[in-house]
Amino acid sequence: MRRTAAAVAALALAVTALGTAATTATAAEGQGITACPTGWGSLDKNVSSTKYKPLTDARTGRHDCYDRIVFDVPGGGTGVGYRVGYVDALYQDGTGDLIPVSGGAILSIRLVAPSYDYETGTPTYPGRARQPLPGVDVSGYTTFRDTRFASSFEGETLMGLGVRARLPFRVQQLTDKVVIDVAHTW
């Protein structure tokens, strides 16, 4: 009799756990967000480099579990340096001016890739301080809320990415690209 009671109790507990998981998944889907475990975390991520190949383009994309921003750095291979992390506010290098970025959290993106040819000074990326990233529209994205160009100063380009909340993210280096994915959920 005790074994039967224990089995019934274990079965009831398992059904309750499954119901809770289904309710959580349904709630996330009801908000248009797919629950996807990533294991990425939200701590700063960085790689050092002194290649100084110029930034030429930025673009974004939407995926089921994350929003993505890609930075093109031709000639950078997989050795483009970066520092990516959450900040309380974004400030322009050189002047210290505050750059307003909309969203619940700000992801600071610093690439060791100037927006100009390092040898000639010729612009390679048309970013302007305080303005959204050229050609990048994040309206309708699940996680992204805003993009801002802060500065290109002493061989590094600083940008701000406004996101819905402080969410996990990853940084990947592909040939001539730096890719940043920000998860939709924890």
Helices in 46-93 by DSSP H: which ranges? none
- Does residue 81 carry a pLDDT above 70? yes
Q: Per residue in 41-58, pLDDT tens?
A: 999 999 999 888 999 999
Q: Which two tokens stand for residue 120?
A: 């000639």
pLDDT at 31: 55
Sign of CA dihedral 181, 85, 171, 113: positive
pLDDT at 15: 39
Q: Per residue in 167-184, pLDDT tens?
A: 999 999 999 999 999 999
Rounded mean pLDDT of 50-74?
Answer: 96
Distance CA 169, CA 185 (A): 10
Q: Per residue in 88-113, pLDDT tens?
A: 999 999 999 999 999 999 999 999 99
Q: Which of 126, 103, 118 lies closest to 153 in space, CA to CA?
A: 118
Q: Is 124 exposed, middle or buried (0-12, 13-18, 19+ CB in 10 A)?
A: buried
- Does residue 152 carry a pLDDT above 60? yes
pLDDT at 27: 39
Q: pLDDT confidence of 119, banded at 50, 70, 90?
A: confident
User: Are residues 77 and 52 in contact, defined by beta-carbon separation less than 8 angstroms?
Assistant: no
pLDDT at 22: 38
Q: pLDDT confidence of 9, banded at 50, 70, 90?
A: very low
Q: How confident is the prediction for the chain on average, in pLDDT?
A: 87
